[in-house]
Amino acid sequence: MSASVATLNRELSWLAFNGRVLHEAADARTPLLERLKFLAIFGANLDEFYMVRVAGVRRQLAAGVSRAGPDGVSPTDLLDRIDVTVRGMLATQQRILEDDVLPELASHGVRLLAMDDLDANERAAVDAFFDSQVFPVLTPLAVDPGHPFPYISNLSLSLAVELHEPEAGTDHFARVKVPKSLPRWVPVRPLQYLPLEALIGAHLDQLFPGMRVTGHHAFRITRFSDLEIAPTEEPEDLLAMIEEQVFQRRFGEVVRLEVQRGMPQVLRALLLEELRESEDPEMAPLTEREVHEPGRLLDLGDLHALAALDLPEFRDPPFVPVTPVELRAGRSVFEAIREHDVLLHHPFDSFPATVERFLDEAAHDEHVLAIKMTLYRTSGDTAVVRALTEAAQAGKQVAVLVELQARFDEANNITWARTLESFGVHVVYGQPGIKTHAKLALVVRREPDGIRRYVHIGTGNYNSKTARTYTDMGLLSCNESLGADVSELFNTLTGFSRQRVYRKLLVAPVNLRERLVALIAREADNARAGAPARIVAKMNSLVDSQVIDALCDASNAGVEIDLIVRGICCLRPGVAGESERIRVVSIIGRFLEHSRAWRFENGGEPEYYIGSADWMPRNLDRRVEAMVPILDASLHPRFESLFEVCLADNRQAWDLQPDGEWVQRHAGADEERATHKRLLRDSWGIVRFARMSAESAPPLVV
């Protein structure tokens, strides 16, 4: 098989995903404030793409790498194609915001104001607010022979100020940072706000007395912000090393300059030249290709604050996550798990009433001896951290692996690691260059018939905030084989164990790739033998070339393959003689599809798995990941229901075409079938367990 025939470029595939996010902002069927939210998500996504992925391609160029990858795209060609794609997206984003969303919001009384919109009383009020709250925070920075071009932090919003000195007749340039410590949107009237940069711009004369302000325009830079820790590095203190890297990345090279629409060319050229001179000469120099002009407003990630306004008529309908009947109040969570495994699907199943309750009961149960878990990202309200610290204070043995290398959460995780240590929790940090991405919790409990191990194995982080907006799955079980596997995996993470064989778990980087390829090959063998053969797999990203090759071989053998891939997909489906039996669909909507789940037909005896790993080289080779088989057959119908809902979607679903384009499905004359609406509506109607009928359950509040 020719890799270039069946393989799509990773970065361009990611941009296509962000384009699908942007489409939700354009779609008039999306509630108005949710459209604003999707504009914010699109912008924040693009920031990270430049900080990590574009920066990486630019570093390839600086290192002299010019050859094309397996997709046939060279680094130079890739940067050009990214530039063309992003400029088109930014034009679309600007049109959606300025021509559609903001005018429609204004018709309902929600407005972003300009200084000229204010009456005399309002102007006096914002003047007083500036004098008391804003002026003391600002620091004007001159640029001249005695004042070198100032350091500009990553993603910070600044004003480039043009000045004229009347006495000397000379022109000058200064920079004023728009402080992140102040709210971006200054309330002036009910539901009407003034952008902070507009307020500062109107009062620049107070920062430069004796000078005449001749112009000001907003700008923003993006810096390389990934950590660089090779697997071969063995620092004596990983915590100190991560802290140093987090500090140093503040000074990463600039990879993008954003300027406000209408910035004079001379000022734009001045910024570009100053940034070039202040950067490492060994890095690829900034050019006009790296200068973007998104529109009147920069840093649209801040629109999240406006999207959260309390206007229910312009937001998605609220819903109340349910508590599975097995875990309802009045019985111990351990008693429920002993009866049978419990499968969770968030946010439809309440995270606090399930996972947090599991940990809280473990912390306060006198029969629990030990708790072990992994923390990749956790939330600020941290009921999880509270349970762990209370367990340690109660004398239980508590061990937690805190992943310090979780991208852009490094500083947060360092704080949580130190908090846990201060309460007596045993904290470990994993291995340099190999992230622990597995989502695992183990509770060891003394019971009348001996020691029993309870496990939670999930697809998402132990984070109550994202559990309300990400779709994730989890398994609660006291299966002996799973408990033993998780125990041995923790021994590998916290000690010197080099476990290579597991009873049930599929573990990366130990055996996950090998087992995954073998499962795909088994389906191919079954198809050749005339036995039932099918694969359904749901994940965030599909990039790994070895897995793509295995899937294409299975397709050629006769296996029908449905892939539900939210984001990046480098497999080109539907190519005759290569991947013609493979279909790829992406679900984009109210919730972020984050769960990873697989189904293998296995000759008519289907096997199901969930876990933390996407099908990417980093997940299979450079991360600790865990996938778990769903052994309780009574849980299997829930997977069938989930897959059926996703594959039948005609509202949120996009189909990947053989040419790499994504085409959104439309209901036409048919009834609209939107995945997230159906999952919310059918949260109790889906066959949750063979032991329970939908009619016996209370209705979901939507």
Is residue 24 within 8 Å of 98, Cβ to Cβ? no
Q: Is 542 helix (H, G, I), strand (E, B) or coil?
A: strand
Among 1-5, 219-223, 266-270, 525-529, which stretch is predicted with the lowest mean pLDDT?
A: 1-5
**What confidence score (pLDDT) does residue 142 get?**
86
Q: What's the rounded Cα separation, in Å, for the pair 138 and 565? A: 46
Q: What's the rounded Cα separation, in Å, for the pair 120 and 261? A: 28
Alpha-carbon distances of 589 from 15, 22, 116, 622, rounded to whole Å: 17, 11, 38, 30
Dihedral angle at the C-alpha atoms of 461, 674, 645, 504, nearest 10 degrees? -10
**Position 698 pLDDT exceeds 50:** no
**What confidence score (pLDDT) does residue 378 get?**
75
Which tokens in the block code for residue 27?
Answer: 């779609």
Alpha-carbon distances of 14 from 377, 541, 594, rounded to whole Å: 22, 9, 15
Q: Is 214 helix (H, G, I), strand (E, B) or coil?
A: strand
Is residue 301 within 8 Å of 44, Cβ to Cβ? yes
Is residue 349 within 8 Å of 321, Cβ to Cβ? yes
pLDDT in tens, 454-498: 999 999 999 999 999 999 999 999 999 999 999 999 999 888 767
Residue 237 or 678, more confident: 678
Q: What is the mean pLDDT of residues 311-316?
A: 96
Dihedral angle at the C-alpha atoms of 267, 272, 274, 277, nearest 10 degrees? -160
How are beta strands 653-656 and 662-664 bridged, if at all? antiparallel
User: pLDDT-based confidence at 3, cuts 50/70/90?
Assistant: very low
Q: What is the mean pLDDT of residues 435-454?
A: 96
Among 265-274, 429-438, 470-479, which stretch is predicted with the lowest mean pLDDT?
A: 429-438
Q: What's the rounded Cα separation, in Å, for the pair 469 and 200? A: 35
Averaged confidence pLDDT in the chain: 89
**What confidence score (pLDDT) does residue 407 get?**
63
How are beta strands 435-436 and 623-629 bridged, if at all? parallel
Which tokens in the block code for residue 376?
Answer: 């990749």
pLDDT in tens, 326-370: 888 778 999 999 999 999 999 999 999 999 999 999 999 999 999
User: pLDDT-based confidence at 35, cuts 50/70/90?
Assistant: very high
**What confidence score (pLDDT) does residue 104 get?**
97
**What confidence score (pLDDT) does residue 625 get?**
96
**Position 280 pLDDT exceeds 90:** no
Which tokens in the block code for residue 382?
Answer: 């941290």
Sequence-distant (6+) residues with CB within 8 A of 392 are 398, 420, 423, 424, 425
pLDDT in tens, 140-162: 998 876 667 888 889 999 999 99
Helices and strands (H and E) in the chain: how many: 22, 27
Q: What are phi and psi of 83, to 5 degrees?
A: -60, -45
Residues of the chain above pLDDT 70, percent: 90
Sequence-distant (6+) residues with CB within 8 A of 382 are 416
Q: What's the rounded Cα separation, in Å, for the pair 72 and 348? A: 42
H or E element, residue 470: strand 470-477
Which tokens in the block code for residue 346?
Answer: 């968030």
Q: What is the mean pLDDT of residues 581-607?
A: 97
**What confidence score (pLDDT) does residue 687 get?**
36
The alpha carbons of the chain give a radius of gyration, in whole angstroms, of 27
Q: What angle is formed at CA 225 by the lines to CA 221 and CA 231, rounded to 5 degrees? A: 165
Residue 409 or 241, more confident: 409
Q: What's the rounded Cα separation, in Å, for the pair 47 and 55? A: 11
Query: Residue 473 is which amino acid?
Result: M
The secondary structure of the chain in percent helix, strand, coil, rounded to multiples of 5, reads 40, 25, 35
Q: What's the rounded Cα separation, in Å, for the pair 677 and 682? A: 8
Q: What's the rounded Cα separation, in Å, for the pair 468 and 590? A: 11
User: pLDDT-based confidence at 311, cuts 50/70/90?
Assistant: very high
**Position 1 pLDDT exceeds 70:** no
Q: What are phi and psi of 541, to 5 degrees?
A: -145, 145
**What confidence score (pLDDT) does residue 148 get?**
74
**What confidence score (pLDDT) does residue 415 get?**
78
Q: What are phi and psi of 676, to 5 degrees?
A: -70, -35
Q: What are phi and psi of 618, to 5 degrees?
A: -65, -35
Residue 240 or 327, more confident: 327
Is residue 419 within 8 Å of 385, Cβ to Cβ? yes
**What confidence score (pLDDT) does residue 433 get?**
72
Is the bond preceding 509 in cis, omega lying within 30 degrees of 0?
A: yes
**Position 227 pLDDT exceeds 70:** no
Residue 534, Cβ neighbours under 10 Å: how many? Answer: 18
**What confidence score (pLDDT) does residue 689 get?**
34
pLDDT in tens, 105-127: 999 999 999 999 999 999 999 99
Q: What's the rounded Cα separation, in Å, for the pair 388 and 382? A: 10
Q: What's the rounded Cα separation, in Å, for the pair 548 and 528? A: 19
- Tallying the residues shown for the chain, one arrives at 702
Residues of the chain above pLDDT 90, percent: 75
Q: What's the rounded Cα separation, in Å, for the pair 528 and 468? A: 44
Residue 61 or 540, more confident: 540
Is residue 401 within 8 Å of 378, Cβ to Cβ? no
Q: What's the rounded Cα separation, in Å, for the pair 58 and 699? A: 53
Domains, the chain: 3-314 (3.30.1840.10), 339-494 (3.30.870.10), 506-696 (3.30.870.10)
Choose among 436, 429, 435: nearest CA to 236.
Answer: 429
How are beta strands 426-428 and 397-402 bridged, if at all? parallel
Distance linking the first and last C-alpha atoms of the chain: 49
**What confidence score (pLDDT) does residue 229 get?**
52
Q: Tell me the CB-side half-sphere exposure of residue 97, using CA atoms within 13 A.
A: 26
Supply the residues annotated as catalytic: 437
**Position 222 pLDDT exceeds 70:** yes
Q: What's the rounded Cα separation, in Å, for the pair 427 and 421? A: 6
For 449-456, which contacts have Cβ atoms below 8 Å and span 24 or more sequence positions? 451/369, 452/338, 452/478, 452/483, 453/478, 453/480, 453/483, 453/484, 453/486, 453/487, 454/334, 454/337, 454/358, 454/362, 454/478, 454/483, 455/479, 455/482, 455/483, 455/486, 456/355, 456/358
Q: What's the rounded Cα separation, in Å, for the pair 300 and 49? A: 15
**Position 408 pLDDT exceeds 60:** no
**What confidence score (pLDDT) does residue 692 get?**
35
> Using N-to-C axis directions, what is the helix angle for 10-26 and 32-48, rounded to 10°?
160
Q: Residue 664's beta-bridge partner residues?
A: 654
Which tokens in the block code for residue 548?
Answer: 């793509």
**Position 163 pLDDT exceeds 90:** yes
**What confidence score (pLDDT) does residue 88 get?**
97
Cα-to-chain-centroid distance, residue 365: 35
User: pLDDT-based confidence at 177, cuts 50/70/90?
Assistant: very high
Is residue 257 within 8 Å of 291, Cβ to Cβ? yes
Q: pTM for the complete prediction?
A: 0.91
Q: Is 140 helix (H, G, I), strand (E, B) or coil?
A: strand
Alpha-carbon distances of 214 from 163, 297, 530, 605, rounded to whole Å: 5, 20, 78, 75
Q: Which residue in this structure is represented by tokens 């992994």?
A: 374
Is residue 488 within 8 Å of 372, Cβ to Cβ? no
Q: Is 203 helix (H, G, I), strand (E, B) or coil?
A: coil
Q: What's the rounded Cα separation, in Å, for the pair 503 and 237? A: 33
